[in-house]
Amino acid sequence: MIVKKPTIIINTCRGDMQLLREICAGIEEEGILYEIMSDKEGTASALSVKACEASMLGVGIGLCGDDVSLHIKGMNIRHGENEMTTLLSHTAPDMTTARALGANGARVIKRLPLRLPE
């Protein structure tokens, strides 16, 4: 029997390894488990939605190159009929912002206030 653990899923596609390390560190700081999966193609936003759907906790992070996105189940932002964006997205974030994004994904699960960059 395969048992899925309650984890935040990080879905990457040619993701920047330094950003990935910082995102993981932010999640670890909050005491939540994470799992990394890899995709062959997709935008950070699409990867985060896919990761969110695979996560028992309903939180997914997408990382494509130096674009990163956080998606939380039920918190879709609609633009028109078919276009949907994720909760938080950054292009080429600094390491502090990447760490905060990972921490914020975990803080949503713990029902704590988000850490916003200054």
The pLDDT of residue 21 is: 97
Q: Are 63 and 90 in contact (CB under 8 A)?
A: no
pTM to 2 decimal places? 0.87
Strand partners, 91: 67
Q: Sketch out the chain's domains with CATH numbers.
A: 1-43+56-89 (3.40.50.10150)
Q: Which has the closest alpha carbon to 20: 52, 67, 58, 56?
A: 67
The pLDDT of residue 104 is: 94
Quickly list DSSP for 38-97.
E-SS--HHHHHHHHHHH-TTSEEEEEETTEEEEEETT--EEETTTEEE-SEEEES--HHH
The pLDDT of residue 114 is: 87
Q: CA-to-CA distance for 100 and 27, rounded, in angstroms?
A: 9
List, for residues 70-110, the tens digit of each pLDDT value. Answer: 999 877 665 555 555 566 788 889 999 999 999 999 999 99
pLDDT at 28 over 90: yes
Residue 83's CB: how many other CB atoms inside 10 A? 8
Tell me the residue type at 97: T
List, for residues 31-50, the tens digit of each pLDDT value. Answer: 999 999 999 999 998 999 99
